[in-house]
Chain A
Amino acid sequence: MFEKIIFATTGTPTCDHAAHVAFDLKKKYNSELTLFHSMGMPSRGFSPFIKDSRTGEDEYLDNDYADWVKEELKTYYAKQLAETEGVMIETSAGESHREILRAARKNDADLIVMGAHSRDEEAGATRYRNVVGSTMQRVAKGAKCPVLIVSRPCTTCLWYFSNIIFGTDFSKASYSAFLFAYQLAKEIGAKLHLFHAMDMTSIHSGKAVSQEEIEAAIADARKRIEKTYVAKMADYDNYEIEVWEGVPYVEILKFARERNGDLIVMSHHTREVDPDDAVLGSTVEQVVLRAACPVASVNRPDKVS
């Protein structure tokens, strides 16, 4: 299922949960795992000095420095590396999201695993920063392969996946997310929850919606799920369809908690507003920040069809 995995890390405790999942996946699928670290931006143009992404200090970029960073990573992940053979370590200098995407393209990765933040954030502070324009958001939007974002402790879920939640808004990108969720559910024998949250905030637009109208819209959405997704699942019958109304990210989180979801699969920025205009980001960002389980963002069919 996952032949080549890239684990994008800052080599700090904020990526520890993602590290658990990345190394777990490598063990389970005997995948090729590349531990990737972006060292920072050149301070100007082709300057040999870079801003270290962890310390913010100016560093002279040469082979010695790159080797030193790799050694640091080896020391930080010594325990995992001792238990796992054949993990490659790569570094590069530049804007983190570009370098991660470049590494994923170069290695023809099937999956990128990363944390939601590059530094430890308080929940209160996440309200104002590090979501829109963050490395996570840019990688998730630009990657051709699925991106698994892990921001909470989930050390063993991938060994015991039993509930995969697929959240759809019926967009083209959502179909790619469906393919990933379906393939994964089939592969590991998990129950696939096909979920749609009807955005009541946009339906309302100033007028009161009757219960009959809501029920009719729910019935329509169920039919659409059956036609678009269930029809493609052949004889796979371990699935459930649910349509809830409300604020999409709240409903998805609520549903995932209620069904003990081990993984939420969604597509990134499909129908939302321009990300530059979004105050906090799209449904995916809101879900990533709060979900108790990992969230996979899938936008392109390249690696899932």
Chain B
Amino acid sequence: MNAVTLKNNGALFCDGAPIGDEPLMCLGKQVVLDHGVTLRSVFRMIETYPLLSRLNPFFPTYIEQYREIPADGCTCDDFAHIEFSKTVEMIGYPGEPRLEIYSALKGEGGGETREIRNYELEHLLDMPLLLGKLRHIVFGDKVDQFEFGTVFTLFEFIDGIVWELSFHGTLRACALRR
């Protein structure tokens, strides 16, 4: 009832019907990813609902880049899928005790987690995109962590992905030199 479904083609559906021209009303709803959704679906969604591109100043840049990338076959072999997850971290030392909640977008596969910031967008766009769990890290000790099922709002999903993408951008020239 209070969920919005992202389809592979970038369309958003609420209660089985397209949401029309009002994507902002769906930002607080739980996002559900339809079968076959990839990172490309997120860019298709932004093209379908251009108003959403105003959520982050990096969107225009990435949309431009996305349009120059081949329409399919943008995958890599290093992991099986990309996972969007949430972390709740209790931090007790140093400084005042506090609790931070942030999202992450990582490559997952073969029991391993990989940072994706060093991969070009053209190797990520067609990787399956899944919603992951909530990790709870207790007092900064990454060994001492628990995982829980959770939900994400559409806003968290869009904002978290573009925030993470804004850290990407290994230069092609740099990659060649290495």
A-side interface residues toward B, CB under 8 Å?
51, 56, 122-129, 152-157, 160, 246-247, 250, 253-254, 257, 260-261, 289-293
Closest CB-CB distance, A61 to chain B, in whole Å?
Answer: 18
Give chain A residues whose Cβ lies under 8 Å from the Cβ of B149.
none
Answer whether A260 and B171 are a contact pair too, CB < 8 Å, given A56-B94, A155-B178.
Answer: yes
**Inter-chain contact B170/A292, CB cutoff 8 Å:** yes
Give chain B residues whose Cβ lies under 8 Å from the Cβ of A257.
169, 171
A51 (CB) vs chain B CBs: closest residue: B94
**Inter-chain contact B170/A157, CB cutoff 8 Å:** no
A155 (CB) vs chain B CBs: closest residue: B178
Answer whether A125 and B178 are a contact pair too, CB < 8 Å, given A260-B171, A290-B169, A292-B171.
Answer: no
Answer whether A157 and B177 are a contact pair too, CB < 8 Å, given A128-B102, A247-B57, A293-B171.
Answer: yes
B-side interface residues toward A, CB under 8 Å?
57-58, 61, 87, 89, 93-94, 100, 102-104, 117-118, 160, 163-164, 166-167, 169-174, 177-178
Q: Which of A124, A156, A292 contacts B104 (CB 8 A)?
A: A124
Q: Which of A56, A153, A289 contacts B174 (CB 8 A)?
A: A153
Residue pairs across A and B with Cβ atoms less than 8 A apart, 6 shown, are: A124-B102, A124-B163, A125-B102, A156-B178, A290-B166, A293-B171
**Inter-chain contact B178/A128, CB cutoff 8 Å:** no
Decide if the interface of chain A is mainly helix, strand, loop or mixed: loop
**Given pairs A122-B87, A124-B160, A156-B178, 20 additional interface contacts (CB within 8 A):** A56-B94, A123-B117, A124-B104, A124-B163, A125-B100, A127-B102, A129-B100, A153-B178, A154-B174, A157-B174, A157-B177, A160-B177, A247-B57, A250-B57, A260-B173, A290-B169, A292-B169, A292-B174, A293-B171, A293-B174
A246 (CB) vs chain B CBs: closest residue: B57
A253 (CB) vs chain B CBs: closest residue: B169
Give chain A residues whose Cβ lies under 8 Å from the Cβ of B57.
246-247, 250
**Inter-chain contact B104/A122, CB cutoff 8 Å:** yes
B118 (CB) vs chain A CBs: closest residue: A153
Give chain B residues whose Cβ lies under 8 Å from the Cβ of A246.
57
Residue picked from B94, B117, B160, B169, most chain A C-beta under 10 Å = B169
A260 (CB) vs chain B CBs: closest residue: B173
A254 (CB) vs chain B CBs: closest residue: B61
Give chain B residues whose Cβ lies under 8 Å from the Cβ of A155.
177-178
Give chain B residues whose Cβ lies under 8 Å from the Cβ of A123.
104, 117, 163-164, 167
For the complex, give the distance between the alpha carbons of A153 and B104 in Å.
20
Closest CB-CB distance, B75 to chain A, in whole Å?
Answer: 22
Closest CB-CB distance, A82 to chain B, in whole Å?
Answer: 21
Q: Which of B117, B160, B167, B172 contacts A260 (CB 8 A)?
A: B172
For the complex, give the distance between the alpha carbons of A56 and B139 in Å.
13
Closest CB-CB distance, A130 to chain B, in whole Å?
Answer: 11
For the complex, give the distance between the alpha carbons of A293 and B172 in Å.
11
For the complex, give the distance between the alpha carbons of A282 and B102 in Å.
21
Residue picked from A122, A260, A289, most chain B C-beta under 10 Å = A122
Give chain A residues whose Cβ lies under 8 Å from the Cβ of B172.
260
**Inter-chain contact B103/A250, CB cutoff 8 Å:** no
For the complex, give the distance between the alpha carbons of A293 and B177 in Å.
13
For the complex, give the distance between the alpha carbons of A246 and B60 in Å.
11
Give chain A residues whose Cβ lies under 8 Å from the Cβ of B118.
152-153
Closest CB-CB distance, A250 to chain B, in whole Å?
Answer: 5
For the complex, give the distance between the alpha carbons of A291 and B160 in Å.
19
A124 (CB) vs chain B CBs: closest residue: B102
